[in-house]
Amino acid sequence: MMNFRLARPAVVVDINRIGELDRVGEEADALVMGALARQRAVERWARAEFPLLATALRHVGHDAIRTRGTIAGSLAHADPAAELPALLLCLDGHVRARSARGERTIAARDLFVSALPFQATNGWGPVERDTSNGEQAAGDGRPIALDGTMYARGLGAHAPGDVTMYLGHNCTSFTAVVGIDDEAGASGSVRYHVLVDNREVASTDIVTGTSAPVSLTADITGGDWLDLVVDEAGDGNGLDHADWADAMIHCN
């Protein structure tokens, strides 16, 4: 992200010397890689026994990129064209996410919602994948930012809008952190609605450019169609840059 100038953080914390995070090994019946496991190191390590992993990694950038790039960074960035997210999906892998609040294990199939196909209407330009809404052109958003926190994944919408996805009757819950993107400053006001088969299953009060981000959870069990709707909250749609950050659909 920094290499391509997509992210320009004011402060960078270097965690490179936390030794235990570069672990790569086998645990019970799984391969386990720490957050700092480098792509090049995993490629070398996997060559003998896990040729699919080594073969996929050889297609990632070039040696210098793989020497620096981490497995976790690629998965968190989750570019739909990248090798590692596709590989994790193909192998039915999991990501173990840890923070001061605790730990959770996320199946790869639950991790990459913004890569799913969708149809959308949007109040300003197109809905963007993994960036804010930006302006009228496709691909002109910035990294999703809510209250100073950046999100690698999610959808950047603009009220009034509706993103429709097919669930195929097989999913149980939808989660996201929603809010007006920081690019709108203190402006913007919207309401978020989650609909399953045209029935509202979750919504927010009015969220403005000065509101804290809202964690949204919706029960979508058994539904066929999911609609992620933002309305203008009754005051027009000026700067209604509405993010669905970290949007995830959890499926069976």
Write out the residues near ligand FAD by the rule CB under 6 A.
1, 3, 35, 39, 60-61, 65, 68-70, 72-74, 76-77, 82-84, 152
Pick 151 or 192: Cβ nearer ligand FAD:
151
Pick 70 or 237: Cβ nearer ligand FAD:
70
Give the CA angle between residues 146, 178, 151 to the nearest 5°: 45
* Separation of alpha carbons 88 and 66, rounded Å: 17
Pick 60 or 88: Cβ nearer ligand FAD:
60
CB of 31 to ligand FAD, least distance (A): 17
Closest residue (Cβ) to ligand FAD?
A: 73
Pick 44 or 68: Cβ nearer ligand FAD:
68
Pick 99 or 136: Cβ nearer ligand FAD:
99
* Separation of alpha carbons 106 and 87, rounded Å: 15
Quote the tokens at residue 80: 């739909």
CB of 39 to ligand FAD, least distance (A): 6
* Separation of alpha carbons 13 and 249, rounded Å: 31
Q: What is the CA radius of gyration of the chain?
A: 19
* Separation of alpha carbons 245 and 69, rounded Å: 24
Contact 133, 181 (CB under 8 A): yes
* Separation of alpha carbons 175 and 154, rounded Å: 11
* Separation of alpha carbons 56 and 83, rounded Å: 6
Chain length of the chain: 252
Quote the tokens at residue 13: 């914390």
Quote the tokens at residue 89: 């999906």
Which spans in the chain are helix H? Answer: 39-46, 51-57, 63-68, 71-77, 83-90, 108-111
Quote the tokens at residue 234: 């009754």
CB of 159 to ligand FAD, least distance (A): 26
Pick 34 or 225: Cβ nearer ligand FAD:
34
CB of 246 to ligand FAD, least distance (A): 11
CB of 83 to ligand FAD, least distance (A): 4
CB of 178 to ligand FAD, least distance (A): 19
Pick 162 or 181: Cβ nearer ligand FAD:
181
